[in-house]
Structure 1
Amino acid sequence: MAVATTSALRQRTLTALTLVPLVIGAVLWLPTPLFALILAGVIGVGAWEWAALAGVTDQRLRALYPLLVGGAMALLWPYPQGLFWLAIASVLWWLWQTRRLLSMRRVVPAAGVDGLLLAVGLLVLVAPWAALVTLHDAPGGPALVLFLLFVIWSADTGAYFAGRRWGRTKLAPVLSPGKTRAGVYGGVLGAVLCALVFAWLQGLAPLHGLLLLLISAATALISVAGDLYESLLKRRCGAKDSGQLLPGHGGMLDRIDSLTAAAPLFLLGTTLIGVR
Structure 2
Amino acid sequence: MSRGTPAGARQLDPRSMLLRWMTALAGIPVFVGLCLWGPVPFGIATAIVAALALAELLDAYEAAGMAPSRIAAAAGLFGPAYPLLAAPDELRARHPWLPAGTLETAATGVLILLVAAVVYEVARAARTADLAAGRRLAFGLLCAVCVALFGALSGLRTDTARVGTGVAPSLESGAALVLTLALAVWTADTLALFVGRAWGRRKLAPALSPGKTVAGAAGGLLGAVVVGALAGRLLAGSLPVGIAFGLAAGVFGQAGDLFMSALKREIGIKDFGAILPGHGGLLDRLDSLLLAAPVAALLAGILR
TM-score calculated relative to the size of structure 2: 0.70
Q: CA deviation at 1:156?
A: 0.9
Q: 1:255 to 1:62 in 2, by over 3 A?
A: farther
Equivalent of residue 32 in structure 1, options 34, 39, 44: 39
Aligned residue type for 1:156: D
Q: 1:62 to 1:12 in 2, by over 3 A?
A: farther
In structure 2, the residue matched to 1:136 is 157
Aligned residue type for 2:283: L
| 1:177 match: secondary structure | strand
The 2-side partners of 1:261 and 1:201 are apart by: 24
Q: CA deviation at 1:23?
A: 0.8
Q: 1:246 to 1:117 in 2, by over 3 A?
A: same
Q: CA deviation at 1:75?
A: 6.1
Q: 1:269 to 1:71 in 2, by over 3 A?
A: closer
The 1-side partners of 2:230 and 2:83 are apart by: 34
Give the greater-gyration-radius structure (CA): 2
The 2-side partners of 1:61 and 1:117 are apart by: 5
The 2-side partners of 1:193 and 1:123 are apart by: 30
Measured against aligned partners, the alpha-carbon deviations of 1:39-93 in whole angstroms (never above 9, x if no partner) come to: 11100111001112333679x998767754435654674346749xx9xxxxxxx
Counterparts of residues 58-73 of structure 1 (less than 5 Å): 67-70=74-77, 73=80
Unaligned runs of 5+ in 1: 87-110
Measured against aligned partners, the alpha-carbon deviations of 1:79-120 in whole angstroms (never above 9, x if no partner) come to: 46749xx9xxxxxxxxxxxxxxxxxxxxxxxx9964313202
Q: CA deviation at 1:249?
A: 0.8
Q: 1:203 to 1:77 in 2, by over 3 A?
A: closer
Q: 1:199 to 1:143 in 2, by over 3 A?
A: closer
In structure 2, the residue matched to 1:218 is 248
Equivalent of residue 186 in structure 2, options 153, 160, 165: 153
Identity %: 34
The 1-side partners of 2:259 and 2:244 are apart by: 23
TM-score calculated relative to the size of structure 1: 0.76
Q: Provide the aligned length of Structure 1 versus Structure 2.
A: 241
| 1:171 match: secondary structure | strand
| 2:266 match: secondary structure | helix
Deviates more, 1:43-52 or 1:114-123: 114-123
Q: 1:40 to 1:66 in 2, by over 3 A?
A: farther
The 2-side partners of 1:246 and 1:231 are apart by: 17
Unaligned runs of 5+ in 2: 1-11, 88-101, 108-131, 162-172
Equivalent of residue 8 in structure 1, options 2, 16, 39: 16
Q: CA deviation at 1:193?
A: 1.5
Q: CA deviation at 1:16?
A: 1.3
The 2-side partners of 1:17 and 1:69 are apart by: 30
Q: 1:68 to 1:211 in 2, by over 3 A?
A: closer
Larger relative contact order, structure 1 or 2 (CA cutoff 8 Å, min sep 6): 1
Counterparts of residues 114-263 of structure 1 (less than 5 Å): 114-129=136-151, 131-138=152-159, 139=161, 140-202=173-235, 204=237, 209-210=239-240, 212-263=242-293
